[in-house]
Structure 1
Amino acid sequence: MCKKPTRRLRIAALIDEASQVEREDAYKADSIGYMAPALAQVTLPHKSQGESLYYERTNGKLTLAIRGHKSYGLPFGTIPRVILAWISSEAVRTKSPELFLGRSAAEFSKKLSLHYNGHDLSRLKKQCLALSRAVISIDNKVEKSLRFEDIKIVRSGLIFWEKDADATTSLWENTIALTEDFYTAIASSSVPLDLRVYFALKKSPLAMDIYCWLTYRMFLLQVSRKSRVLIPWEYLKAQFASGYSDDEQGLRDFKKAFLRRLREVLLFYTEAQGHVTDNGKHLALTPCRPHVLPSKKG
């Protein structure tokens, strides 16, 4: 079956959402979100890793590895990305490492701007717990040294969601408490995002990742005052891709998928149009205005 009509419908919907986003500044729309810098550079799995409890991606000298919990597996797909953005944003907004998820899975799904029905409950709960119980390791090779860090996002939690929670509201709030290290990293340095854009792209985990990454890279370009940066396609494939063959055809397939999702991101991040170009062996970035400017408050 031809997928082109579905593709055209998706693009039409994204163009419509982009025009709506453009009408109002992210701050006025109260849609500012945040992401930890390290997690804007590296990615969670796009698809289920089966029985595996280990996942690894590399971005140049930076390597991210995720170790999953034996009961919940590895977090993957759209849901943990949305949860992670909400966790980071809520921690910045409330200035507290203790976060309240609501009294039911349905209430939490509304906080996440996710469509909810009873069938989705199991997936939402499992991905929430998979993300909460995972350990993320980051290795950064600098010259002859190695700097490494293990990140545990959630220190503790209390979840009351049951199988019939679609119709049940708990007497208690479901809560999670962030680890001190993760909360400090978010509170002191985080990448501002427009959550309207992030959620609009949620049908494609790759598009969500590209939006976070491009926003962060443009911020770095502005701070470093570099006029241009060239990123080899092999590096991008190692950073973003999984499931592609390790040959020239696999690289071509990844490049095609990346550029397709990049075009979707640029429907929203219009300031970056013309500043992200394919030079054959490299993706070239030249400085442009960050998609969301840092707040002038405090």
Structure 2
Amino acid sequence: MTGSGKALSMRKSLTKRDTALIEHSATIATNQPNSEDMAFSHAVLCQVGLPRAKVEAREFMRQSGAAWVNVQAGYLDEGNGPVLQPIPYGVMPRLGLAWVSTFAVRNKEREIRIGDSAAEFLRLMGMDSDGRRYATLRKQMHALAACRLQLGFKGRTYNGQPVQQFDAWISDRAANQRALWPGVMVLSEDYYRSLIESAVPLDNRALMALKGSALALDVYAWLAHRLHRIEGRGVVLHWKSLREQFAQEYAGKDPDKNFKKEFMPALRKVLAVYPQAKVKTVTGGVLLIGSPPPIPYKGGPVE
């Protein structure tokens, strides 16, 4: 097969997400982030994320070192009284929370204008607004608005609900009325203050490139928070400690090996959109070496 034939075959084998990842990677590698590219996440959520898969229980706990998160399912009035919501999980609440956190940090406001429609909010998050996306967004934003969240780190605990006010998407099915979009989300005062004190800058272009994988989003946020704090020769993290941080739900005869199979593809995606990151695989785990953050420090080239 000729060189051009191989290139054509390779392009055909690439998925839409693969192509988008390559394009985002090239853009990030050649263009410094500007102010519009900046996103923010809570520091604790960069260390221990929300669940990635559906949780059947009403409570979820994840701990990594000194940081921990506890999520409890809550109730939301959907028009006819309280309805127990699931625990938020997956990509959608991660992107949704990052988007509202970014708006709050940039504008120093607790009241977040989330668009005039679900389609617009999906667009703002860089996602397609097909029917399945709409249904998932509704379910996960209701779950996020209703949940109770505890964040802990080195003796300090935040207790409360991130969202103080969120009007449920209510529709009159008998009249074929489309669900009303709330338009505004209000963060609780305590969560807002905690966020402002500990917001971690992220590159929104990387979030958009990784939006197909909750694990990749978690690994990216973790490295963005962790790498620039490392000094000296670096830190080796073994598969067991990484699994306990990212995927305590993995079980079986060799949970560390099973986790590694999931973690490595996610890590490769992250390194494609975080070119400054110095992460190497070593026997039994990965080596983290001090690296610049994806968004330069204040006073750097971000405009």
> Which residue number corresponds to residue 139 of structure 2?
126
1:92 corresponds to which letter in structure 2? Answer: V
**1:237 matched residue in structure 2:** 243
Which aligned segments of 4 or more residues in structure 1 are displaced greater than 6 angstroms? 4-7
Q: Is 1:159–1:174's contact at 8 Å kept on the other side of the alignment?
A: no
Distance 2:217 2:33 in 1: 17
Is 1:264 aligned to residue 269 of structure 2? Answer: yes
Amino acid at match of 2:260: K
Q: Deviations over 1:176-206 (max 9, x none)?
A: 1111121112223311111111121011110
Counterpart position of 1:106: 119
Tell me the SS of whatever aligns to 2:208: helix
Q: Indicate how the Cα distance of structure 1 residues 186 and 95 shifts in structure 2: closer, same or farther if over 3 A, else same.
A: same
**2:224 corresponding residue in structure 1:** 215
User: Match for residue 297 of structure 2?
Assistant: 294
Match of 1:57 in 2: 62
Is the 2:239–2:285 Cα contact (8 Å) retained in structure 1? yes
Matched length: 281
Q: Select the residue among 288, 299, 302 that pairs with 1:285.
A: 288
1:48 aligned residue: 54
Deviations 1:183-238 (A, max 9, x none): 112223311111111121011110010000001001322xxx45422223212101
Determine if contact 2:209/2:273 at 8 Å carries over to the other structure. no
CA positional deviation for 1:12: 4.2
Larger-gyration structure (1/2): 2
| Alignment check: 8 A CA contact 1:244 1:250 kept | yes
* Partner deviation per Cα, 1:16-74 (whole Å, 9 max, x = no partner): 2211333432216x111001101110011111113x11112121233322111252211
Are residue 199 (structure 1) and residue 208 (structure 2) matched?
A: yes
Distance 1:167 1:286, change over 3 A: farther
- Deviation of residue 8 (structure 1)? 4.7
TM-score (norm 2): 0.83
What's the secondary structure of 2:269's corresponding residue?
helix
Mapped to 2, the partners of 1:85 and 1:7 lie a distance apart of: 32
CA separation in 1, counterparts of 2:283 and 2:113?
A: 47
Gaps of 5+ in 2: 1-9, 76-83
Shift of residue 151 of structure 1?
4.1
Query: What SS class does the counterpart of residue 100 from structure 2 fall into?
Result: helix
Task: Quote the residue 2:192 is aligned against.
Answer: 183
Shift of 1:88: 0.8
